[in-house]
Amino acid sequence: MRRRQDAKWCAVGRGPHSLRQVLHTALRTVRQVIGAPDYARYLEHHAACHPGRAPLTEREFYVQFLGWRYAGTAGRCC
Amino acid sequence: MLAANMRSLLSRLLWVLVAALGAVGFAVLAIARGEHVSAAWMLIAGVASYVVGYRFYARFLALKVFALDNRRATPAERLSNGRDYVPTNRWVLYGHHFAAIAGAGPLVGPILAAQFGYLPGTLWLIAGVVLGGAVQDFTILVCSLRRDGKSLGQMAKEEVNSVAGMAAAVAILAIMIILLAVLALIVVNALKSSPWGLFTIACTIPIAMLMGWWMKSVRPGHVLEASVFGIVMLLAALVGGGWISRHPTLGPAFTWSGPALAWALILYGFAASVLPVWLLLSPRDYLSTFLKVGTVTILALAILVLLPPLRMPALTQFTDGTGPVFAGKVFPFAFITIACGAVSGFHALVASGTTPKMIMREGHAPMIGYGGMLMESFVGVMAMIAAATLQPGVYFAMNTPAGVLGTTVQSAAQVVSQWGFAVDPAQLTQLAHDVGEATLLSRVGGAPTLAVGMAQILHGVFGGNGMGLWYHFALMFEALFILTTVDAGTRVGRFMLQEIGQHLWKPFGRTSWYPSVVFSSGLIVAGWGYFLYQGVVDPLGGINSLWPLFGIANQLLAAVALCVGTTIIVKMGKARHAWVTLVPLAWLAVVTLTAGWQKVFAADPRLGFLSQARSLAGSTAPDAARRIFNANLDAGLCLFFMAIVVVVIFASAREWWLVLSKRKEATVHEAPFVETAYATGD
């Protein structure tokens, strides 16, 4: 899935995958399914969309991430 | 040209075969009398129905009713922010969504409904999900997706009217409280007088705290390695529990009564919801997600390998309403007892929660919304299999309250045998000994029954002489993720309360203001704690009265969600397709209002709350006054739920009439169409 060059909003595309990256992707997939924080993705997004501002440290990001994850009324089902 | 025609013909032929296979499966399940049917037929009937439903009905909903458009940019793409709006691969999102909707519901409901025999529950699980539950989940997911991830309450307010919105918000809060009480009750019933179980579950608290500290301070965000540590420690605690239970001093120290456990849970729930999230809630959440998925996978594999015979008959005499597990005839109560797995209103909250913000393309919605619910129904079918593979006498001995069975294996065996389900007192004692419990009698609430069923199945596959380990393994898995729902749910309930409360007093809504946090958490815990305690000391076992209340509330929320869905479909100009949500809505309304009416007004004191109160009126028993009060309270709650759904149905019907008769402009509050920047072809 590739992004056109004239995309109007800021986001990050994914390049082609090498075989070596497959294991990395697999672990990342498990983390995404269980809802673990993805610091690497945050850094990519931050570098692409907010250049010039210092990103959060990994620890700060984790604590904030949990705040976002557990705010609000979505929750889990029974 | 010829090849394409051939492919199309083969495809049609294949689907006809699948449908025929499913039909055969249903026929075998329905017609078999006397001989034991293999679980394989239940799986065949279920899976065939699911795939046919997905391939034809979900596609119809996607193309004709909602006209999903892959060229339309989803909020995950437009509002991408690296945290909650993140375009996610559909398989990953499927797993994420399933992990969010899966819980104890599909595991407990079918087990309780097995008192009617396996057939009613199975039919409802399969037909209900294909025509109702999966439709609801999918509809709400798509509606929320097109509104940038708005919640169900917000959609009710905007698309129907503010009365519906407020009614939905209040209903959700009330349902949350009943749900938490019922789940906590299941845990208490599973752990009382069980030192092995209590030790293992108690260990999860320090284990989670260690994980939490590790993930925050030592290696921030490294969830996987902390989870591996957590699981290993958990298994160690599991083994240790067996040793503890046999220890002369520690064994009795961990043998707690129901009321004591109830207080412990109440205190725990309060603490877990006010402590920082990283310390207890979050690590428990990650751990329990692994365990949920693990339990389901292990159970599925074991059933598929073993294909055990179903010993429970297709229909029992208790379809007439005299059942010991809960009162009520098969109509409407089979459809109330099984909620998650067939239709569950709570899923509408999850489907309008984090998932719509992560969908990459509209075309992924059927798989995630419809397909996710199908998988949950499959879990329900497996739970039904686990219950039906038990010897019926054992099933009834485990699920009938002590008030009916008495407290000895002799009295229990006699009562159960009189119902026509032969069981031997020695058999009951031996089974309890095999699984490492003092007794299996009256362990109501579904979790121990599932654990015994799973232990027998897993033991049948893997052998060995560790039935006790398998039993406690199964019990621990279930109790753990139930407990996590309790503490996470208390926190969610607190947010809801603060959200509603801030209309009365502004500062109440500040979610980080400590006094408000403590006060609202306290209120929520007091709410479910009250019902929990009531259930624990109830001689009829608590599940008897609370589970139907939960089922009614859950189905009513589903009715609310379907009202919102219908309103949106009508406003989109697709009123001729509105039957897709109207039919399940009508069914649910009839079933839940009938059930609610019977629970409040039925003359039989076992069934009707008010009759129960009246029958206790002259009693001199010390707890009579409390029980009368509780029965009246339950009746009031039931009437309240019924009133809410009637209000929402009328408010929605008014909107439909206004729009259809052109008295009102059909404005749909979707986010504007923006073309996606993704290349097509994924």
Whether B241 is in a domain gets the answer no
Please say if the pLDDT value at position A5 is more than 60: no
> Can you give the residue range of the structural domain that contains B74?
64-193+256-317+324-406+414-660
CATH number of the domain where residue B644 is located: 1.20.1740.10
Q: Is the dihedral angle over the CA atoms B450, B451, B456, B458 positive or is it negative? A: positive
Cross-chain residue pair A59–B216, CB shorter than 8 Å: yes
Higher pLDDT, residue B56 or A28? B56
Domain count, chain B: 1
Joined tokens for residue B208: 């989670």
Q: Tell me the angle at which helices B371-388 and B134-145 cross, rounded to the nearest 10 degrees.
A: 150
pLDDT band at A13; cut points 50, 70, 90: low
Interval B444-456: pLDDT, tens: 888 899 999 988 8
User: pLDDT of B564-590, one tens digit each?
Assistant: 999 999 999 999 999 999 999 999 999
Chain A partners within 8 Å of B281 (Cβ): 70
End-to-end CA distance of chain A: 35
Tokens 């329990």 found at: B288
ipTM of the complex, rounded to two decimals = 0.78
Q: Locate the chain B residue with the closest alpha carbon to A72.
A: B495
pTM greater than 0.80: yes
Integer CA distances (angstroms), B522 to A72, B490, B550, in order: 18, 9, 21
Q: What percent of chain A stands above pLDDT 70?
A: 71
Does B57 fall in a domain? no
Which residues from chain B sit within 8 angstroms of residue A46, using beta carbons? 82
**Residue B442 is assigned to a structural domain of this protein:** yes
Is the minimum CB–CB distance between B186 and chain A shorter than 8 Å?
no
pLDDT of residue A3: 52
How far lies B204's CA from each of A34, A75, B281, in Å? 18, 21, 11
> How many CB pairs below 8 Å do chains A and B form together?
159
What span, in angstroms and rounded, lies between the C-alpha atoms of B224 and B432? 36
Q: Which residues of B touch A10 (CB under 8 A)?
A: 80
d(CA B568, CA B667): 9
Q: SS3 for B296-363, per residue?
A: HHHHHHHHHHHCCEECCCCCCHHHHCCCCCCCCCHHHHHHHHCCCCCCCCHHHHHHCCCHHHCECCHH
| CB B336, CB B591: distance < 8 Å | yes
B344 touches chain A (CB under 8 A): yes
In this complex, the residue of A4, A30, A66 whose CB is nearest that of residue B677 is A4
Chain A interface disruption, residue of B292, B359, B481, B678, most A CBs within 10 A: B678
**Mean per-residue pLDDT for A23-43?**
84
Residue of A nearest to B355 (CA): A74
Q: What residue ranges of chain B have pLDDT lower than 50?
A: 682
Give residue B682's pLDDT.
47
